[in-house]
A and B are shown apart, each in its own frame.
Chain A
Amino acid sequence: MWSKTRIAAGLVACGLVTGIGHAGAQGLTIKGEPKIALILFAAKNDGGWSQTFEEARATMEGALNTKIPLVENIPEDASSITPPVERFIQRGSNVIIGTAFGYSDTFKKLSEKYPQVAFLNGAGITNGANLESFYGRTYESQYLCGMAAGAVSKTGKLGFVAANPLGLVNWTINAYLLGARQMNPNATVTAVFTGAWNDPVKERAAAEALIDKGIDVIGQHVDTPTPQIVAQERGVYGTGHHRDMREFAPKATLCSSVWVWDKFLVPEVKKIAAGNWVPAPYGAFPGIKDGGTDIACCGPAVPKDAADKVMAARDAIIAGRHVYAGPLTDREGKTRVAAGAVLGDADLWKMDWFVPGVITQ
């Protein structure tokens, strides 16, 4: 289920790149004050992706001084998505926020049926005159997590438990190594792909296999906190994804790549409220500067000076430093980013190469 979201999110790629849909020449002006409704893919207390939207909802209610109703556990098919969305619209909602890749097509259809309603969809791939998909630049937050990992690791051998080698997963692994090498130039990252987004047994097997190989910090891009829990059990460290995983492994978790959707959605809804809203033609792709992604740093095991360096790097990224700035070569020695250049969004979404120091199967 999750998995679909993600695999999908990978295809956000394609959507963003090829620009399914197009922005209308004229912006959207909704009728009256924005009335937001939230469509959650999983349970609002799922401990991961959906919960980050629930947490953003609370902040948004305060910041926008409005009530935001929600529905949970809406699967990725039109017959499940359409009725709650239409009910919200009939009750006067004019900003609908979805949270799954699998909502893309249905949201596209609904946005055409209801041209006066603004549609936003997290991890979606469709865009239009009144529809905008969005996803975060997680390579920025994972780069910073990699820095924390590189600083704490004694062996210089880092591990990474990942789901599937999609662009949006590969960019977190490469960024993790680039971050780690800022703190330890000899660091390596061994990545294990579980082939599933949501299988705690496979994630445990992967984490244990990595620890048995002498790895002492484990990063992750899967949907459960299992790798952090295993790290804590085995007395090593880890870095989390989705939410601050100190909740699950307070001693082990050094840093987490987290979603901060309120930071992106509050200004976006304000733009919609101001009228003449034009969705980004290829979807919104915010980094730490514009919300979406950020870090929860640092756990107690990260030394003060290392934590300061991580936060300084965060400031630099906000100021405009690109993680994938050239020169960068892949493991085969092929130049991927020329000196002085940065990697474009289209190339990010289709990233299928690894930087030297990343060990994969």
Chain B
Amino acid sequence: MIDFVASWLAATLAYAVPYALAALGLIICERAGVLSLTAEGFMLVGALAGVGAVLALRAPPLAALAVGMAAAALVAVLFALLVVVLRLNQVVAGLAMVFFCQGLTSLVGTAFGWTSKAIGGLTRLPLGPLADLPLLGRALFNQDILVYLTLPIFAAIAWLLTRSMTGLRLRAVGESPEAADAAGVNVTAYRFVAVLAGSALIGLAGAYISVGSAKIWIQDMTSGRGWIAIALVIFARWRPWRALAGAILFGCIESLVPRVAAAGIQAPRYVMLMLPYVVTLGVMVWMAVARTGRPGDEPAALGQPHVREERR
């Protein structure tokens, strides 16, 4: 039993990282008022670019993660142009970006022959004697570098969003762009940068899936994890730390399901496979019921294009 729990916990954080980083990226976009449904697409871009960097440029894994971030940010320039500058409907543009990215990554992956090529990828970095602690040693201190970095990344972004002047302006842009504009904040610039920064984090999540976790590129390999990240943002009520907790919950489930099967425990298989989605729904319903009558946490201007001087 102890072995089962130890091996389960040891695997959990690595599966939580992609959800956590993607959700954090989405929070940055959405706190600035840009509804981003692009996560699934930008994760694919990050995943392909990461593997491509390893295969074509012989990049070390950390550099490959950076390439994944940069590639997602690059594609996000297009999305930002569409929704921030041209003020297209954000839902439609976001969905279109997902399909565009699915096609683009299939095309590029096939053209360069990056599909199904095994790569070295990130390796575990045990933190000395800490990694030998019973139960929690393997879970917390025998992980790859990005698992360790996720916590500081969250701390930095949470601080930036809630404690810094930049974060205040960014949230103002998401809550009331008119007021922010009147106060002298450049709404377009803030939204543009928020989309790029958020998308870079989503790209990092994707690159981690291919370079850190699977260590291979397969067409459409993110398998809907981007959509789960979107749900995660809603049930985290746009708060970074809650998103991290939610991501760890998903990591727990994702690492638990195959372990229950490998242990030969009789549990209904389809119920197990459904678990992450049932939990998503359940938590969202619970949040909705628990918060009835209180003002929503959703950024007030989420999804609304800002046209300067326009009355609403």
Contact = CB atoms under 8 A, between A and B. Distances in A.
Given A198-B220, A361-B260, A225 B15 contact: no
A81 to B, nearest CB: 18
Interface string A181-194: 00000000011111
Contacts of A359: 264
Contacts of B218: 198, 200, 223-224
B55 interface: no
Contact of B258 (A42, A200, A205): A205
B292 interface: no
A162 to B, nearest CB: 10
Given A45-B115, A190-B262, A72 B110 contact: yes
B269 A47 contact: no
A189 B245 CA distance: 36
Interface in A303-361: 359-361
B262 A192 contact: yes
B91 interface: no
Interface residues of B, number: 40
Contact of B118 (A1, A48, A215, A248): A248
Nearest to B11: A208
A83 B306 CA distance: 44
Contacts of B95: none
Given A42-B219, A198-B220, A200-B216, A209 B259 contact: yes
Contacts of A208: 11, 258
A205 B255 contact: yes
Contacts, number: 120
Task: From A72, A199, A201, name the one whose CB has the most chain B CB atoms within 10 angstroms.
Answer: A201
Interface residues of A, number: 43
B152 to A, nearest CB: 24
Contact of B116 (A47, A72, A202): A47
B74 to A, nearest CB: 23
B280 interface: no
B106 interface: yes
Interface in A227-253: 229, 248-249
A190 B110 contact: no
Given A200-B214, A229-B215, A47 B117 contact: yes
B13 interface: no
A190 B115 CA distance: 29
A165 B261 CA distance: 13
Given A43-B110, A204-B213, A229-B216, A209 B116 contact: no
Contacts of B225: 201
Contacts of A225: 116, 118, 216
Interface of A: 1, 42-43, 45-48, 72-73, 159, 165, 190-196, 198-206, 208-210, 212-213, 215, 223-226, 229, 248-249, 359-361
Interface of B: 3, 7, 11, 15, 106, 109-110, 113, 115-118, 209, 213-216, 218-221, 223, 225, 254-255, 257-267, 269-270, 272-273
17 contacts: A45-B110, A191-B261, A192-B258, A192-B262, A199-B221, A200-B213, A200-B214, A200-B216, A201-B15, A202-B254, A205-B255, A210-B258, A212-B259, A212-B262, A225-B118, A229-B118, A360-B261
